[in-house]
Amino acid sequence: MSDAENPAMTETGGQAPATAGGDGAGVAVGAGRLYGVGLGPGDPELVTVKAARLIGVADVIAYHAARHGRSIARSIALPYMREGQVEELLLYPLTTETTDHPGGYQGALDDFYVECAARLATHLDAGRTVVVLGEGDPLFYGSYMHLHKRLAHRYPTEVVPGVTSVSGAAAVLGRPLVERDEVLTVLPGTLPAEVLSERLAATDSAAVLKLGRTFEKVRDAFAQAGRLDDAWYVERATTGAERVAPLKDVDPDTVPYFSLALLASPAERTFVPEPLASEPLASGSVASEPVAPLGQSSHGDRLPTGTPGEVAVVGLGPAGRPWLTPEAQEALAAATDLVGYGPYVDRVAQNPRQERHRTDNRVEAERARHALELAREGRRVAVVSSGDPGVFAMASAVLEVAADFPDVPVRVVPGLTAAQAVASRAGAPLGHDYCVLSLSDLLKPWEVIAERISAAARADLVLAIYNPASRSRTWQLAATRDLLLEHRDPATPVIIGRNVGGAAESIIVTTLGDFDPTQVDMRCLLIIGSSTTRVAPSGQVYTPRRYP
């Protein structure tokens, strides 16, 4: 609440004694102030003037994040933050209901919020102004409310509302939520399927939040309620990674938590616009043909006339969206065309305004030339590669052909490599000097590969081996093991990482002497330890930073 709305506020900025919260504690006189600040759905320009001002003057900025530590709220607020502010990262202890906490999922979260409240109370007791950031509106499915319950009765507190994700999604679609006496129902996707379908069938308009893992259940509930054909999917509304599509056409494997399903006003669905007097309908046209939602356009959109296109060679990381960098997400979202090996293109979420050019895996030069030709026409082209595009991937192929296209800008957007991904799952085997080799002999002879394997083994380097085997290339891996055993102890740790980040992920830790090449295929990456690589009692593998 604001000072003007609270007659209990004293001239010193504190409050008269209060009993809110049930503990009888009074608000501390002279204490700092707590603000729960809504940031809107994602676009920093949708932050309110008041929110921006408070963010800029705050002593402490607090925000929540999952275990990866990246905060969407902080990224929205960053343009309004200043140097020298204390930042409190409130890291969720878990993001699923799986936990060994004695109080279960809710008990773990309750303990977490108690700890967070205590951390912020330390700043408030010291007289500091604390702003807690929250996407959307702080009191609309927001984490801030849990801190508000624990702190608002003890300190001067104000909640600054923000644009909700539901409003942002409706704006992106260009469709009204409700008209006249219609009813809007807001539902969490975590509800049971039968409850969702019952509520959807009984309302005029609806927004279903918290998708992610609940998406298939939500989509089925729309279908059961007979509303699926009218429902829309909106992801990360108002941001550079925004995506809009009919709900029935969305791949469940591509759906993040920050997305929602929207059923707009039924009046809008039945409205037939009259033609403008100055623009009568052409013969044969249909007045009721729906207008494409804002954010969608026809395939192959070009940049404004006179604007050169570009090619961004984008690393997708080893698996799905969690491994994708924010820079890569922005490059993919800005693209008009996606070019790449078919399975890699398929890993990018469908966007109806983008054209997708899928090719075979052995036409790198042709693929690069096609991308550059599209960019010369004024397209924004993303050439996609798994892992990092500069590691046995498309960046060098594009730059080689780009010599024939001096007028087309090319940039490389890095990605997490397969070697880094496998290493992280196993521990820290790449903690000291290492080299990266490919066993593929399509572009270089085996004699060169064998010489490099022996050289790396003699130099006592950890080896990360890409493309270790294929259906037609089976004997090279056994030959590699034999070459390494000429210089390495049979007890040297070996890591076989398969499909890291995917549903069939596996990590096997063995030794060079026991290594079985038949366990390896093209979905694998190998890491061969050095003389100093160790296996800890926990089973994790590491290479010490110090060399004896």
The H helix count followed by the E strand count for the chain is 15, 23
State pLDDT tens for residues 160-183.
999 999 999 999 999 999 998 999
223 and 83 co-located in one domain: no
Better-predicted residue by pLDDT, 285 or 254:
254
Query: Is the domain of 139 the same as that of 36?
Result: yes
Among 108-122, 131-145, 266-280, where is mean pLDDT lowest? Answer: 266-280
Which amino acid appears at position 82 of this protein? R
> Which pLDDT score is estimated for 271?
52
Place of tokens 């930073």: 545
Asked if 141 and 216 sit in the same domain, the reply is no
Question: Strand order in 493-498's β-sheet?
Answer: 434-438, 462-466, 524-528, 493-498, 506-511
Q: Which residues fall within 8 angstroms of residue 62, CB to CB, at 6 or more apart?
A: 87, 88, 89, 90, 116, 120, 130, 131, 132, 133
Judgement on whether residues 153 and 7 belong to the same structural domain of the protein: yes
Is 56 inside a domain boundary?
Answer: yes
pLDDT digits (tens, 9 = 90+) for 65-92: 887 778 899 999 999 999 989 999 898 8
Residue 446 domain-assigned?
A: yes
Residue 285 within a domain: no
* Percent over 90 (pLDDT), the chain: 66
> What mean pLDDT do residues 404-430 have?
94
Q: Where is pLDDT greater, at 308 or 509?
A: 509
Collapse the DSSP code of 132 into the 3-class scheme (helix H, G, I; strand E, B; otherwise coil) and give the result.
strand
Q: What pLDDT is recorded for position 222?
A: 96
Q: Where is the domain boundary, 243, 268, 293?
A: 268
Q: How far apart are CA 318 and CA 387, in angstroms?
A: 5
**Position with higher pLDDT, 298 vs 76:** 76
Q: Are strands 243-246 and 337-341 parallel, antiparallel or unpaired?
A: unpaired
Considering the domain architecture, whether residues 177 and 249 belong to the same structural domain is answered as yes
Residue 278 located in a structural domain: no
| Contact residues for 546 (Cβ-Cβ < 8 A; gap 6+) | none
Q: 30 and 143: one domain? A: yes
pLDDT of 279 above 60: no
**Looking at residue 228, what is its pLDDT?**
95
* 122, 102 contact by CB (below 8 A): no
State whether 28 and 112 are in the same domain. yes
Coil, helix or strand at residue 383: strand
Q: What is the pTM of this model?
A: 0.50
268, 300, 329: which is the final residue of a domain? 268
Give the pLDDT band (50/70/90) at residue 437.
very high
Distance of CA 444 to the CA centre of its chain: 37
How far is Cα 451 from Cα 422, in angstroms, rounded to an integer? 25
Strand bridging mode 434-438 / 427-428: unpaired
The average pLDDT across 232-242 equals 91
Residue 433 and residue 381 in one domain? no
pLDDT digits (tens, 9 = 90+) for 206-232: 999 999 999 999 999 999 999 999 999
End-to-end CA distance of the chain: 63
Q: What is the pLDDT of residue 474?
A: 80
Look up the CATH number of the domain holding residue 241.
3.30.950.10
Report if residue 380 sits inside a domain: yes
Query: Residue 338 pairs with which residues in a beta bridge?
Result: 356, 382
**Distance from C-alpha of 263 to C-alpha of 231, rounded to nearest angstrom:** 5
In a domain, 287, yes or no: no
Say which residues have a Cβ less than 8 Å from residue 66's Cβ, sequence separation at least 6: 91, 92, 95
| CATH number (domain holding residue 107) | 3.40.1010.10
- Burial string for 15-48 (b: 16+ CB within 10 Å, else e) reads beeeeeeeeeeebbeebbbbbbbbbbbbbbebbb
Task: Give 112 or 31, the one with higher predicted confidence.
Answer: 112
Of 105, 82, 84, nearest to 93 by C-alpha is 105
Mapped to the 3 state alphabet, what secondary structure does 434-497 carry?
EEEEECCCCCCCHHHHHHHHHHHHHCCCEEEEECCCCCCCCCHHHHHHHHHHCCCCCCCEEEEE
Domain membership of residue 292 (yes or no) is no
In the predicted structure, residue 7 carries a pLDDT above the cut 70:
no
454 and 318 in a single domain? The answer is no
- Of the pLDDT bands very low, low, confident and very high (cuts 50, 70, 90), residue 30 is low
49 and 144 co-located in one domain: yes
**For 396-423, what is the mean pLDDT?**
94
pLDDT at 361 over 80: no
Whole-angstrom Cα distance, residue 278 to residue 280? 6
pLDDT of res. 532: 95
Q: Domain for residue 547, yes or no?
A: no
Query: How many structural domains does the chain have?
Result: 4
* Structural domain of 20: 3-162
Residues in the chain: 548
How far, in Å, CA of 499 to CA of 506, rounded? 7
Could you tell me if 534 and 440 lie in one domain? yes
The side-by-side arrangement of strands in the sheet containing 231-235 is 184-188, 205-209, 259-263, 231-235, 243-246
Using the 3D structure, point to which of 416, 450, 479 is the last residue of a domain: 416
Please tell me whether residues 9 and 118 are part of one structural domain. Answer: yes
Task: Report pLDDT digits (tens) over 490-530.
Answer: 999 999 999 898 888 899 999 999 999 988 988 899 999 99
Task: Render pLDDT for 89-109 as a digit per residue (tens, 0 to 9).
Answer: 898 887 666 677 887 878 888
